[in-house]
Structure 1
Amino acid sequence: MPTVVTRDGVEIFYKDWGAGRPLVFSHGWPLSSDDWDAQLMFFLQRGYRVVAHDRRGHGRSEQVADGHDMDHYADDLAAVVEHLDLRDAVHIGHSTGGGEVVRYLARHGESRASKAVLIAAVPPLMVQTDANPDGTPKALFDDFQVQVATNRAAFYRAVPEGPFYGFNRPGVDPVEGVIANWWRQGMMGGAKAHYDGVVAFSQTDFTDDLTKIELPVLVMHGDDDQVVPYAAAGPLSAKLLRHATLKTYKGFPHGMPTTHADVINADLLEFIQS
Protein backbone atom coordinates (compact mmCIF):
# COMPACT_ATOMS: atom_id res chain seq x y z
CA MET A 1 0.00 0.00 0.00
CA PRO A 2 1.27 3.54 -0.72
CA THR A 3 2.28 5.24 2.52
CA VAL A 4 4.32 8.15 3.80
CA VAL A 5 6.03 8.29 7.19
CA THR A 6 5.53 11.54 9.10
CA ARG A 7 8.18 13.40 11.04
CA ASP A 8 7.06 11.73 14.24
CA GLY A 9 7.26 8.29 12.66
CA VAL A 10 3.60 7.54 11.83
CA GLU A 11 2.78 5.63 8.65
CA ILE A 12 -0.03 7.32 6.70
CA PHE A 13 -1.89 5.52 3.92
CA TYR A 14 -2.90 7.51 0.85
CA LYS A 15 -4.49 7.12 -2.58
CA ASP A 16 -3.01 8.96 -5.56
CA TRP A 17 -4.88 8.37 -8.80
CA GLY A 18 -4.70 10.05 -12.18
CA ALA A 19 -2.89 13.08 -13.53
CA GLY A 20 -3.63 16.74 -14.00
CA ARG A 21 -4.47 19.34 -11.40
CA PRO A 22 -4.43 17.76 -7.92
CA LEU A 23 -7.54 17.66 -5.77
CA VAL A 24 -6.79 16.68 -2.17
CA PHE A 25 -9.59 15.25 -0.02
CA SER A 26 -9.67 15.15 3.81
CA HIS A 27 -12.31 12.87 5.35
CA GLY A 28 -14.56 13.13 8.40
CA TRP A 29 -14.56 11.36 11.77
CA PRO A 30 -14.29 8.35 12.23
CA LEU A 31 -14.08 7.37 8.57
CA SER A 32 -11.37 6.97 5.95
CA SER A 33 -10.48 8.09 2.45
CA ASP A 34 -13.04 5.54 1.20
CA ASP A 35 -15.76 7.99 2.17
CA TRP A 36 -14.74 10.06 -0.86
CA ASP A 37 -15.38 7.29 -3.43
CA ALA A 38 -18.14 9.22 -5.23
CA GLN A 39 -15.91 12.28 -5.55
CA LEU A 40 -12.66 10.48 -6.40
CA MET A 41 -14.25 8.59 -9.28
CA PHE A 42 -16.15 11.62 -10.58
CA PHE A 43 -13.07 13.83 -10.79
CA LEU A 44 -10.72 11.07 -11.92
CA GLN A 45 -12.98 10.54 -14.93
CA ARG A 46 -12.73 14.27 -15.71
CA GLY A 47 -8.96 14.39 -15.92
CA TYR A 48 -7.99 15.41 -12.40
CA ARG A 49 -5.41 13.90 -10.10
CA VAL A 50 -7.21 12.84 -6.94
CA VAL A 51 -5.43 12.34 -3.63
CA ALA A 52 -6.92 11.20 -0.33
CA HIS A 53 -5.32 9.84 2.83
CA ASP A 54 -6.50 8.00 5.93
CA ARG A 55 -6.01 10.18 8.99
CA ARG A 56 -3.63 8.76 11.62
CA GLY A 57 -5.43 6.07 13.59
CA HIS A 58 -8.14 5.81 10.91
CA GLY A 59 -8.61 3.37 8.05
CA ARG A 60 -5.34 1.81 6.91
CA SER A 61 -3.03 4.31 8.59
CA GLU A 62 -1.03 3.35 11.66
CA GLN A 63 -3.06 3.04 14.87
CA VAL A 64 -0.79 5.04 17.14
CA ALA A 65 -1.80 6.12 20.63
CA ASP A 66 -0.78 9.77 20.36
CA GLY A 67 -1.04 12.81 18.13
CA HIS A 68 -4.79 12.83 17.64
CA ASP A 69 -5.16 16.60 17.49
CA MET A 70 -5.55 19.18 14.75
CA ASP A 71 -1.90 20.21 14.64
CA HIS A 72 -0.82 16.63 13.99
CA TYR A 73 -3.66 16.13 11.49
CA ALA A 74 -2.48 19.21 9.59
CA ASP A 75 1.15 18.09 9.73
CA ASP A 76 0.19 14.64 8.41
CA LEU A 77 -1.66 16.25 5.51
CA ALA A 78 1.41 18.38 4.82
CA ALA A 79 3.55 15.23 4.79
CA VAL A 80 1.35 13.73 2.07
CA VAL A 81 1.37 16.95 0.03
CA GLU A 82 5.14 17.31 0.26
CA HIS A 83 5.82 13.63 -0.39
CA LEU A 84 3.80 13.79 -3.61
CA ASP A 85 5.11 17.30 -4.42
CA LEU A 86 1.59 18.59 -5.03
CA ARG A 87 1.21 22.13 -6.34
CA ASP A 88 -1.76 24.29 -7.35
CA ALA A 89 -3.89 21.92 -5.28
CA VAL A 90 -7.52 22.32 -4.35
CA HIS A 91 -8.06 21.10 -0.78
CA ILE A 92 -11.50 19.70 -0.02
CA GLY A 93 -12.47 18.76 3.54
CA HIS A 94 -15.64 17.26 4.93
CA SER A 95 -16.61 17.65 8.60
CA THR A 96 -13.46 17.04 10.68
CA GLY A 97 -11.57 17.09 7.41
CA GLY A 98 -12.67 20.69 6.93
CA GLY A 99 -10.97 21.57 10.18
CA GLU A 100 -7.89 19.70 9.03
CA VAL A 101 -7.79 21.73 5.81
CA VAL A 102 -8.21 25.04 7.64
CA ARG A 103 -5.47 24.22 10.16
CA TYR A 104 -3.18 22.98 7.35
CA LEU A 105 -3.50 26.19 5.34
CA ALA A 106 -3.02 28.40 8.40
CA ARG A 107 -0.12 26.35 9.77
CA HIS A 108 1.75 25.41 6.59
CA GLY A 109 0.88 28.24 4.24
CA GLU A 110 -0.75 28.41 0.82
CA SER A 111 2.24 28.08 -1.49
CA ARG A 112 1.14 24.64 -2.70
CA ALA A 113 -2.60 25.38 -2.74
CA SER A 114 -4.88 27.46 -4.96
CA LYS A 115 -8.39 26.95 -3.55
CA ALA A 116 -10.19 25.20 -0.73
CA VAL A 117 -13.63 23.78 -0.05
CA LEU A 118 -15.26 23.21 3.33
CA ILE A 119 -18.16 20.76 3.23
CA ALA A 120 -20.35 20.50 6.36
CA ALA A 121 -17.17 21.40 8.19
CA VAL A 122 -16.59 21.80 11.93
CA PRO A 123 -15.02 25.31 11.95
CA PRO A 124 -15.11 27.78 13.50
CA LEU A 125 -15.91 25.94 16.77
CA MET A 126 -18.38 23.16 17.48
CA VAL A 127 -18.65 23.11 21.26
CA GLN A 128 -20.91 25.52 23.11
CA THR A 129 -19.11 28.19 25.13
CA ASP A 130 -19.99 31.62 26.50
CA ALA A 131 -18.51 33.10 23.33
CA ASN A 132 -20.17 30.47 21.13
CA PRO A 133 -23.70 30.12 22.57
CA ASP A 134 -25.08 28.45 19.43
CA GLY A 135 -22.58 25.61 19.68
CA THR A 136 -23.33 22.04 20.70
CA PRO A 137 -23.27 21.31 24.47
CA LYS A 138 -20.11 19.55 25.61
CA ALA A 139 -22.18 16.81 27.27
CA LEU A 140 -23.05 15.43 23.85
CA PHE A 141 -19.40 15.03 22.92
CA ASP A 142 -18.65 13.52 26.31
CA ASP A 143 -21.28 10.90 25.53
CA PHE A 144 -19.66 10.28 22.14
CA GLN A 145 -16.45 9.39 23.95
CA VAL A 146 -18.26 7.07 26.34
CA GLN A 147 -19.89 5.29 23.40
CA VAL A 148 -16.59 4.97 21.53
CA ALA A 149 -14.85 3.54 24.59
CA THR A 150 -17.59 1.10 25.61
CA ASN A 151 -20.04 0.48 22.79
CA ARG A 152 -18.29 1.41 19.56
CA ALA A 153 -19.72 -1.23 17.22
CA ALA A 154 -23.32 -0.41 18.12
CA PHE A 155 -22.68 3.35 18.17
CA TYR A 156 -21.21 3.16 14.67
CA ARG A 157 -24.48 1.69 13.42
CA ALA A 158 -26.67 4.23 15.20
CA VAL A 159 -24.89 7.29 13.78
CA PRO A 160 -25.31 6.46 10.06
CA GLU A 161 -28.76 4.95 10.61
CA GLY A 162 -29.86 8.25 12.10
CA PRO A 163 -28.47 11.79 11.97
CA PHE A 164 -25.40 11.48 9.74
CA TYR A 165 -27.33 10.91 6.51
CA GLY A 166 -30.70 12.17 7.70
CA PHE A 167 -32.16 8.65 7.55
CA ASN A 168 -34.09 9.51 10.73
CA ARG A 169 -36.13 12.15 8.89
CA PRO A 170 -39.73 11.39 7.84
CA GLY A 171 -39.98 10.16 4.28
CA VAL A 172 -36.25 9.41 3.93
CA ASP A 173 -35.51 5.78 3.10
CA PRO A 174 -32.38 4.39 4.77
CA VAL A 175 -29.83 2.86 2.40
CA GLU A 176 -28.37 -0.25 4.03
CA GLY A 177 -25.23 -0.26 1.90
CA VAL A 178 -24.39 3.32 2.90
CA ILE A 179 -24.96 2.53 6.58
CA ALA A 180 -22.86 -0.63 6.42
CA ASN A 181 -20.07 1.20 4.60
CA TRP A 182 -19.96 3.86 7.32
CA TRP A 183 -19.76 1.11 9.96
CA ARG A 184 -17.03 -0.69 8.02
CA GLN A 185 -14.88 2.42 7.75
CA GLY A 186 -15.34 3.32 11.40
CA MET A 187 -14.47 -0.13 12.67
CA MET A 188 -11.28 -0.18 10.56
CA GLY A 189 -9.87 2.61 12.69
CA GLY A 190 -8.57 2.58 16.22
CA ALA A 191 -10.75 3.31 19.24
CA LYS A 192 -8.05 5.49 20.86
CA ALA A 193 -7.76 7.69 17.78
CA HIS A 194 -11.53 8.03 17.55
CA TYR A 195 -11.85 8.76 21.28
CA ASP A 196 -9.27 11.54 21.18
CA GLY A 197 -10.60 12.73 17.84
CA VAL A 198 -13.89 13.74 19.45
CA VAL A 199 -12.03 16.41 21.42
CA ALA A 200 -10.06 17.45 18.35
CA PHE A 201 -13.07 18.06 16.16
CA SER A 202 -15.36 19.52 18.82
CA GLN A 203 -13.10 21.69 20.96
CA THR A 204 -10.58 23.12 18.49
CA ASP A 205 -11.20 26.81 17.84
CA PHE A 206 -10.40 27.63 14.20
CA THR A 207 -11.29 31.32 14.38
CA ASP A 208 -7.74 32.60 13.99
CA ASP A 209 -6.95 30.01 11.32
CA LEU A 210 -9.88 31.13 9.18
CA THR A 211 -8.81 34.78 9.27
CA LYS A 212 -5.33 33.85 7.98
CA ILE A 213 -6.55 32.14 4.80
CA GLU A 214 -6.31 34.31 1.71
CA LEU A 215 -7.15 31.94 -1.12
CA PRO A 216 -10.73 31.47 -2.41
CA VAL A 217 -12.83 29.12 -0.29
CA LEU A 218 -16.20 27.56 -1.09
CA VAL A 219 -18.22 26.84 2.06
CA MET A 220 -20.92 24.20 1.47
CA HIS A 221 -23.39 23.31 4.22
CA GLY A 222 -26.82 21.73 4.45
CA ASP A 223 -29.36 23.52 6.59
CA ASP A 224 -30.62 20.18 7.99
CA ASP A 225 -27.20 19.07 9.21
CA GLN A 226 -27.83 17.28 12.52
CA VAL A 227 -24.15 16.57 13.22
CA VAL A 228 -22.53 19.97 12.57
CA PRO A 229 -25.49 22.33 12.89
CA TYR A 230 -25.62 24.94 10.14
CA ALA A 231 -26.04 28.16 12.13
CA ALA A 232 -22.89 27.70 14.22
CA ALA A 233 -20.70 26.52 11.34
CA GLY A 234 -20.92 27.38 7.64
CA PRO A 235 -22.18 30.98 7.82
CA LEU A 236 -19.77 31.89 10.62
CA SER A 237 -16.79 30.41 8.76
CA ALA A 238 -17.75 32.29 5.61
CA LYS A 239 -17.78 35.57 7.55
CA LEU A 240 -14.32 34.95 8.97
CA LEU A 241 -12.72 33.95 5.67
CA ARG A 242 -11.37 36.73 3.46
CA HIS A 243 -12.55 35.33 0.15
CA ALA A 244 -15.44 32.97 0.79
CA THR A 245 -18.54 31.88 -1.07
CA LEU A 246 -21.26 30.31 1.09
CA LYS A 247 -23.56 27.81 -0.60
CA THR A 248 -26.46 26.57 1.51
CA TYR A 249 -28.34 23.37 0.65
CA LYS A 250 -31.94 23.26 1.79
CA GLY A 251 -32.76 20.02 3.61
CA PHE A 252 -29.38 18.39 2.96
CA PRO A 253 -27.85 16.25 5.75
CA HIS A 254 -24.33 16.10 7.13
CA GLY A 255 -23.33 13.27 4.81
CA MET A 256 -24.44 15.11 1.68
CA PRO A 257 -21.32 14.22 -0.37
CA THR A 258 -22.75 10.68 -0.37
CA THR A 259 -26.51 11.22 -0.31
CA HIS A 260 -26.45 14.07 -2.84
CA ALA A 261 -23.21 13.33 -4.67
CA ASP A 262 -24.59 14.50 -8.02
CA VAL A 263 -25.34 17.99 -6.70
CA ILE A 264 -22.19 18.32 -4.61
CA ASN A 265 -19.89 17.06 -7.38
CA ALA A 266 -21.38 19.46 -9.94
CA ASP A 267 -20.95 22.43 -7.61
CA LEU A 268 -17.40 21.38 -6.74
CA LEU A 269 -16.53 21.13 -10.43
CA GLU A 270 -17.95 24.58 -11.13
CA PHE A 271 -15.93 26.12 -8.31
CA ILE A 272 -12.71 24.33 -9.28
CA GLN A 273 -13.06 25.49 -12.89
CA SER A 274 -13.96 29.08 -11.98
Structure 2
Amino acid sequence: MPKHFDALMEKSLPGSVTRIWKGTYVALRKNWRVFALLLVACVVVTLPTVLIKGQIAGWLKGTMVLGFECITLYVICSWAMRGHAEIAQKRLLNFTLRFVVLKLLITLPAHLYFLFNFGDIIWTARDMAAVSNGNVATERSIIWARAMITYPMAAFVYLLAFTWLPASLVSDGGRFLDAVKRGRVVFGHNLVWFIAGPFVLTLIFELTSVGLGELGVSILVALGGAGEGLYRLYLLFFVGAVWGAAKILCVNTMIGIVISRAYLIGEQRLEASV
Protein backbone atom coordinates (compact mmCIF):
# COMPACT_ATOMS: atom_id res chain seq x y z
CA MET A 1 0.00 0.00 0.00
CA PRO A 2 1.38 3.46 -0.81
CA LYS A 3 2.69 5.06 2.39
CA HIS A 4 1.09 8.44 1.68
CA PHE A 5 -2.31 6.75 1.29
CA ASP A 6 -2.03 4.59 4.41
CA ALA A 7 -3.41 7.33 6.68
CA LEU A 8 -6.68 7.29 4.73
CA MET A 9 -7.31 3.57 5.21
CA GLU A 10 -9.52 3.73 8.32
CA LYS A 11 -10.95 0.27 9.06
CA SER A 12 -14.23 1.29 10.72
CA LEU A 13 -16.99 2.27 8.30
CA PRO A 14 -17.90 5.64 9.94
CA GLY A 15 -14.22 6.52 10.14
CA SER A 16 -13.59 5.49 6.53
CA VAL A 17 -16.43 7.74 5.31
CA THR A 18 -14.82 10.67 7.12
CA ARG A 19 -11.50 9.76 5.58
CA ILE A 20 -13.01 9.90 2.09
CA TRP A 21 -13.88 13.57 2.57
CA LYS A 22 -10.51 14.22 4.15
CA GLY A 23 -8.78 12.32 1.35
CA THR A 24 -10.59 14.42 -1.25
CA TYR A 25 -9.38 17.60 0.44
CA VAL A 26 -5.83 16.27 0.64
CA ALA A 27 -5.89 15.19 -3.02
CA LEU A 28 -7.13 18.60 -4.16
CA ARG A 29 -4.50 20.35 -2.05
CA LYS A 30 -1.63 18.13 -3.20
CA ASN A 31 -2.54 18.37 -6.88
CA TRP A 32 -3.94 21.92 -7.03
CA ARG A 33 -1.49 23.10 -9.72
CA VAL A 34 -2.44 20.30 -12.09
CA PHE A 35 -6.13 20.78 -11.35
CA ALA A 36 -5.93 24.55 -11.84
CA LEU A 37 -4.42 23.97 -15.28
CA LEU A 38 -7.06 21.37 -16.14
CA LEU A 39 -9.85 23.66 -14.89
CA VAL A 40 -8.69 26.55 -17.08
CA ALA A 41 -8.31 24.26 -20.09
CA CYS A 42 -11.79 22.79 -19.57
CA VAL A 43 -13.43 26.23 -19.31
CA VAL A 44 -11.58 27.59 -22.36
CA VAL A 45 -12.55 24.59 -24.48
CA THR A 46 -16.16 24.15 -23.35
CA LEU A 47 -17.22 27.81 -23.08
CA PRO A 48 -17.70 28.24 -26.87
CA THR A 49 -20.01 25.21 -26.88
CA VAL A 50 -22.19 26.94 -24.25
CA LEU A 51 -22.54 30.02 -26.42
CA ILE A 52 -23.59 28.17 -29.57
CA LYS A 53 -26.40 25.75 -30.23
CA GLY A 54 -26.71 22.66 -32.36
CA GLN A 55 -26.03 18.94 -32.24
CA ILE A 56 -22.34 19.30 -33.09
CA ALA A 57 -21.80 21.70 -30.18
CA GLY A 58 -23.61 19.26 -27.89
CA TRP A 59 -21.44 16.34 -28.99
CA LEU A 60 -18.30 18.46 -28.61
CA LYS A 61 -19.27 19.57 -25.12
CA GLY A 62 -20.07 16.01 -24.08
CA THR A 63 -16.73 14.79 -25.39
CA MET A 64 -14.86 17.52 -23.54
CA VAL A 65 -16.68 16.77 -20.31
CA LEU A 66 -15.87 13.05 -20.59
CA GLY A 67 -12.24 13.88 -21.33
CA PHE A 68 -12.10 16.15 -18.28
CA GLU A 69 -13.64 13.42 -16.11
CA CYS A 70 -11.13 10.88 -17.39
CA ILE A 71 -8.01 12.99 -16.85
CA THR A 72 -9.21 14.05 -13.38
CA LEU A 73 -9.73 10.43 -12.37
CA TYR A 74 -6.34 9.53 -13.83
CA VAL A 75 -4.54 12.21 -11.85
CA ILE A 76 -6.18 11.17 -8.56
CA CYS A 77 -5.77 7.43 -9.09
CA SER A 78 -2.16 7.95 -10.15
CA TRP A 79 -1.53 10.03 -7.02
CA ALA A 80 -3.23 7.45 -4.81
CA MET A 81 -1.58 4.37 -6.33
CA ARG A 82 1.88 5.71 -7.16
CA GLY A 83 2.37 8.69 -4.87
CA HIS A 84 2.40 11.35 -7.59
CA ALA A 85 0.31 12.42 -10.60
CA GLU A 86 2.48 10.90 -13.30
CA ILE A 87 1.36 11.49 -16.90
CA ALA A 88 2.86 8.36 -18.47
CA GLN A 89 1.65 7.90 -22.05
CA LYS A 90 1.18 4.12 -21.92
CA ARG A 91 -0.60 4.14 -18.56
CA LEU A 92 -2.77 7.10 -19.57
CA LEU A 93 -3.80 5.33 -22.79
CA ASN A 94 -4.65 2.12 -20.94
CA PHE A 95 -6.56 4.09 -18.31
CA THR A 96 -8.48 6.04 -20.97
CA LEU A 97 -9.46 2.89 -22.89
CA ARG A 98 -10.80 1.33 -19.70
CA PHE A 99 -12.66 4.53 -18.83
CA VAL A 100 -14.33 4.55 -22.25
CA VAL A 101 -15.33 0.88 -21.92
CA LEU A 102 -16.87 1.48 -18.49
CA LYS A 103 -18.76 4.55 -19.70
CA LEU A 104 -20.06 2.59 -22.69
CA LEU A 105 -21.27 -0.15 -20.33
CA ILE A 106 -23.35 2.51 -18.58
CA THR A 107 -24.67 4.43 -21.57
CA LEU A 108 -24.78 2.05 -24.53
CA PRO A 109 -27.52 -0.33 -23.31
CA ALA A 110 -29.90 2.61 -22.90
CA HIS A 111 -29.45 3.42 -26.59
CA LEU A 112 -30.46 -0.10 -27.62
CA TYR A 113 -34.00 0.15 -26.29
CA PHE A 114 -35.36 0.31 -29.84
CA LEU A 115 -34.48 -3.38 -30.22
CA PHE A 116 -37.08 -4.39 -27.66
CA ASN A 117 -40.80 -4.14 -27.09
CA PHE A 118 -41.57 -4.77 -23.43
CA GLY A 119 -45.00 -4.42 -21.89
CA ASP A 120 -46.57 -0.97 -21.98
CA ILE A 121 -43.24 0.79 -22.49
CA ILE A 122 -42.65 1.25 -26.19
CA TRP A 123 -39.02 0.88 -27.29
CA THR A 124 -39.33 0.33 -31.05
CA ALA A 125 -37.64 2.28 -33.86
CA ARG A 126 -41.08 3.19 -35.20
CA ASP A 127 -41.85 5.06 -32.01
CA MET A 128 -38.58 6.95 -32.24
CA ALA A 129 -40.06 8.62 -35.28
CA ALA A 130 -43.16 9.42 -33.26
CA VAL A 131 -40.98 11.20 -30.71
CA SER A 132 -39.55 13.43 -33.41
CA ASN A 133 -43.11 14.29 -34.40
CA GLY A 134 -43.91 15.52 -30.92
CA ASN A 135 -45.53 12.45 -29.35
CA VAL A 136 -45.07 13.43 -25.70
CA ALA A 137 -46.42 10.17 -24.24
CA THR A 138 -44.00 8.07 -26.24
CA GLU A 139 -41.14 10.41 -25.40
CA ARG A 140 -41.85 10.00 -21.69
CA SER A 141 -42.00 6.22 -22.01
CA ILE A 142 -38.60 6.20 -23.70
CA ILE A 143 -37.15 8.47 -21.00
CA TRP A 144 -38.38 6.04 -18.35
CA ALA A 145 -37.00 3.11 -20.33
CA ARG A 146 -33.59 4.74 -20.54
CA ALA A 147 -33.62 5.47 -16.81
CA MET A 148 -34.55 1.88 -15.93
CA ILE A 149 -31.61 0.64 -18.00
CA THR A 150 -29.02 3.32 -17.25
CA TYR A 151 -29.24 3.55 -13.45
CA PRO A 152 -28.87 -0.19 -12.73
CA MET A 153 -25.96 -0.33 -15.18
CA ALA A 154 -24.36 2.69 -13.52
CA ALA A 155 -24.75 1.07 -10.09
CA PHE A 156 -23.16 -2.15 -11.36
CA VAL A 157 -20.22 -0.39 -13.00
CA TYR A 158 -19.45 2.06 -10.19
CA LEU A 159 -19.89 -0.41 -7.32
CA LEU A 160 -18.41 -3.54 -8.87
CA ALA A 161 -16.16 -2.62 -11.78
CA PHE A 162 -14.69 0.88 -11.35
CA THR A 163 -11.61 -0.45 -9.51
CA TRP A 164 -10.55 -1.58 -13.00
CA LEU A 165 -9.27 2.01 -13.44
CA PRO A 166 -6.75 2.19 -10.57
CA ALA A 167 -5.75 -1.39 -11.36
CA SER A 168 -4.41 -0.16 -14.72
CA LEU A 169 -1.77 1.86 -12.85
CA VAL A 170 -0.13 -1.11 -11.13
CA SER A 171 2.26 -3.62 -12.66
CA ASP A 172 -0.13 -6.46 -13.53
CA GLY A 173 -2.97 -4.21 -14.72
CA GLY A 174 -5.69 -6.70 -13.81
CA ARG A 175 -8.65 -7.98 -15.83
CA PHE A 176 -12.23 -6.77 -15.84
CA LEU A 177 -13.40 -9.88 -13.98
CA ASP A 178 -10.73 -9.25 -11.34
CA ALA A 179 -12.28 -5.82 -10.79
CA VAL A 180 -15.71 -7.43 -10.35
CA LYS A 181 -14.26 -9.81 -7.76
CA ARG A 182 -12.77 -6.88 -5.86
CA GLY A 183 -16.10 -5.07 -6.07
CA ARG A 184 -17.89 -8.05 -4.56
CA VAL A 185 -15.69 -8.22 -1.46
CA VAL A 186 -16.04 -4.49 -0.75
CA PHE A 187 -19.58 -4.04 -2.04
CA GLY A 188 -21.11 -2.91 1.27
CA HIS A 189 -18.36 -0.40 1.98
CA ASN A 190 -18.39 0.77 -1.63
CA LEU A 191 -22.13 1.41 -1.48
CA VAL A 192 -21.80 3.48 1.71
CA TRP A 193 -18.75 5.34 0.36
CA PHE A 194 -20.47 6.34 -2.89
CA ILE A 195 -23.67 7.44 -1.15
CA ALA A 196 -21.96 9.36 1.68
CA GLY A 197 -19.27 10.75 -0.64
CA PRO A 198 -19.82 11.48 -4.34
CA PHE A 199 -23.62 11.33 -4.13
CA VAL A 200 -23.82 13.85 -1.28
CA LEU A 201 -21.21 16.09 -2.91
CA THR A 202 -23.09 16.00 -6.24
CA LEU A 203 -26.33 16.85 -4.43
CA ILE A 204 -24.64 19.83 -2.75
CA PHE A 205 -23.38 21.10 -6.10
CA GLU A 206 -26.78 20.62 -7.76
CA LEU A 207 -28.67 22.47 -5.04
CA THR A 208 -26.10 25.25 -5.05
CA SER A 209 -26.30 25.45 -8.86
CA VAL A 210 -30.05 26.05 -8.68
CA GLY A 211 -29.53 28.84 -6.16
CA LEU A 212 -26.73 30.42 -8.16
CA GLY A 213 -28.81 30.24 -11.34
CA GLU A 214 -31.71 32.06 -9.72
CA LEU A 215 -29.30 34.59 -8.22
CA GLY A 216 -27.71 35.21 -11.62
CA VAL A 217 -31.08 35.85 -13.27
CA SER A 218 -32.05 38.19 -10.43
CA ILE A 219 -28.82 40.14 -10.85
CA LEU A 220 -29.37 40.47 -14.60
CA VAL A 221 -32.88 41.78 -14.02
CA ALA A 222 -31.68 44.21 -11.33
CA LEU A 223 -28.93 45.53 -13.63
CA GLY A 224 -31.35 46.07 -16.49
CA GLY A 225 -30.78 43.04 -18.67
CA ALA A 226 -27.90 41.42 -20.53
CA GLY A 227 -26.13 44.72 -21.15
CA GLU A 228 -24.58 46.19 -24.27
CA GLY A 229 -23.22 43.47 -26.47
CA LEU A 230 -24.69 40.90 -24.06
CA TYR A 231 -21.53 41.17 -21.94
CA ARG A 232 -23.39 40.50 -18.68
CA LEU A 233 -25.00 37.38 -20.13
CA TYR A 234 -21.63 36.15 -21.42
CA LEU A 235 -20.14 36.77 -17.98
CA LEU A 236 -22.92 34.67 -16.49
CA PHE A 237 -22.14 31.89 -18.99
CA PHE A 238 -18.49 32.09 -17.98
CA VAL A 239 -19.31 31.77 -14.28
CA GLY A 240 -21.57 28.83 -15.08
CA ALA A 241 -18.81 27.13 -17.08
CA VAL A 242 -16.34 27.57 -14.21
CA TRP A 243 -18.86 26.22 -11.71
CA GLY A 244 -19.66 23.22 -13.91
CA ALA A 245 -15.96 22.41 -14.36
CA ALA A 246 -15.39 22.78 -10.59
CA LYS A 247 -18.24 20.33 -9.94
CA ILE A 248 -16.75 17.73 -12.30
CA LEU A 249 -13.32 18.24 -10.77
CA CYS A 250 -14.42 17.86 -7.13
CA VAL A 251 -16.88 15.00 -7.66
CA ASN A 252 -14.47 12.96 -9.78
CA THR A 253 -11.65 13.62 -7.32
CA MET A 254 -13.82 12.04 -4.63
CA ILE A 255 -14.74 9.15 -6.95
CA GLY A 256 -11.03 8.60 -7.56
CA ILE A 257 -10.43 8.43 -3.80
CA VAL A 258 -13.31 5.97 -3.35
CA ILE A 259 -12.25 3.57 -6.11
CA SER A 260 -8.58 3.72 -5.11
CA ARG A 261 -9.55 2.81 -1.53
CA ALA A 262 -11.82 0.07 -2.88
CA TYR A 263 -8.96 -1.31 -4.97
CA LEU A 264 -6.47 -1.37 -2.08
CA ILE A 265 -8.90 -2.84 0.46
CA GLY A 266 -10.29 -5.31 -2.09
CA GLU A 267 -6.80 -6.57 -2.90
CA GLN A 268 -6.05 -6.98 0.81
CA ARG A 269 -9.21 -9.03 1.36
CA LEU A 270 -8.68 -11.21 -1.71
CA GLU A 271 -5.10 -11.96 -0.65
CA ALA A 272 -6.23 -12.77 2.88
CA SER A 273 -8.86 -15.21 1.58
CA VAL A 274 -6.33 -17.24 -0.42
Query: Into which bin does the TM-score normalised by the smaller protein fall?
Result: under 0.3
What TM-score results when the alignment is normalised by the length of structure 2?
Answer: 0.24
Please identify the structure whose Cα radius of gyration is greater.
Answer: 2
Q: Larger % of strand: which? A: 1
Considering fraction of residues, name the structure with more helix. 2
TM-score (norm 1): 0.24
